[in-house]
Homo-oligomer: A and B are copies of this chain.
């Protein structure tokens, strides 16, 4: 990775056979998918692993883009000799439908009008994201995946993969995720959406080229950011440390480092993410409920053929271990081969992105085992 740069590729699906019928009932065509690959696809195409990103992630999961110094978002996990060993596996990472990082979303041009979709973009779901990834795999000529893997919203996609395309994968790695959003998870997202909608610059989603809903989006991100950290990680990182002050200001300027940090996180997010995509992706997560139609989780998992690895983190209060354990129980009830690991971490929900040492070991061993047992390599 250190000597060669990675590049984001784009594939546009415009043929009738590729048309997507979304869960909302709308039809989507054409659509573009941004993706990256790392490593080499082997001769029998049995070593492909699909990486599924979280909410504000993108296709750039690993390696360096030319001219940039910051590697992909899961570079700790993907590369030669790493958990997702690119000497062994062919890694695919694509940006999700509805995002703003190269794959079609509300900021894309609607070919019917020649203008950005805005809120006329159809509401999308985790299921729709997965359907788009399926098109990409078809395009790449991959009939069966060694694994799919992701954390948070990526973990929900992994769950959806295991249920929707049981024949297409040997295993799925579900990290810091759930099988459906709870009231509290929906509530935090709703606050973010309301913060965006409250911003006059949002203009009901029709702001492209006119304004940027900076303030609302920044507030939404701040709420999110608190939920990604833990009580302990916030206390260790900030506590009551003052920001460049000897004493409390007794005014409404920043006093505490944690205030400055949140403001910075909010403001910098605005430069890299689209307010409408924020709405669409949070809504997709809130809609996610793999028991829809079956009611019982064990029934929803009845068709699963893949082995599963489920990972959660002790201090993750946004997607707590209880939700992972619920999935594990329902999988076991279906006699699915499932490994569950609760990793100790103070990093809260963010742990899957930052606490990679132990996670790497668990994933590396698991994937090697699946590769031997299920592919025979």
Contacts and interface: CB of A to CB of B under 8 A. Distances in A.
Most buried by B among A180, A183, A256: A183
A358 interface: no
A14 B154 CA distance: 62
Contacts of A25: 250
A188 interface: yes
Contacts of A287: 248, 250, 255
A183 B252 contact: no
A194 to B, nearest CB: 5
Contacts of A354: none
Binding site secondary structure of chain A: helix
A262 B187 contact: yes
Contact of A182 (B231, B279, B286): B231
A199 interface: yes
Interface string A210-245: 000001101100110010010100110111100000
Contact of A219 (B195, B239, B259, B279): B195
Contact of A222 (B180, B191, B218, B283): B191
A181 interface: yes
> How many copies of this chain does one complex carry?
2
Kindly list the 3 A-B residue pairs having the minimum CB-CB distance in the complex, ordered from nearest.
Answer: A24-B250, A198-B215, A183-B234
B216 A198 contact: yes
A251 interface: yes
A190 interface: yes
A23 interface: yes
Given A187-B234, A248-B287, 20 more contacts: A25-B250, A123-B252, A182-B231, A183-B239, A183-B240, A183-B256, A183-B258, A184-B226, A184-B231, A184-B234, A184-B235, A186-B258, A190-B263, A191-B219, A195-B195, A198-B198, A198-B215, A198-B216, A200-B200, A250-B287
B256 A279 contact: no
Contacts of A218: 194, 198
Interface string A170-208: 000000000011111011101101110011100000000
A116 interface: no
A198 B183 contact: no
A269 interface: no
Contacts of A256: 183, 186, 190, 286
Interface of A: 23-25, 119, 122-123, 180-184, 186-188, 190-191, 193-195, 198-200, 215-216, 218-219, 222-223, 226, 229, 231, 234-235, 237-240, 248, 250-252, 255-256, 258-259, 262-263, 266, 279, 283, 286-287, 289, 317, 320
A310 B41 CA distance: 63
Given A198-B199, A218-B194, A250-B23, A182 B262 contact: no
B182 A235 contact: yes
B182 A234 contact: yes
Contacts of A238: 183
A286 B235 CA distance: 14
Contact of A262 (B191, B216, B250): B191
Contacts of A200: 200
Given A191-B222, A191-B226, A240 B289 contact: yes
A141 B159 CA distance: 67
Nearest to A251: B123
B279 A252 contact: yes
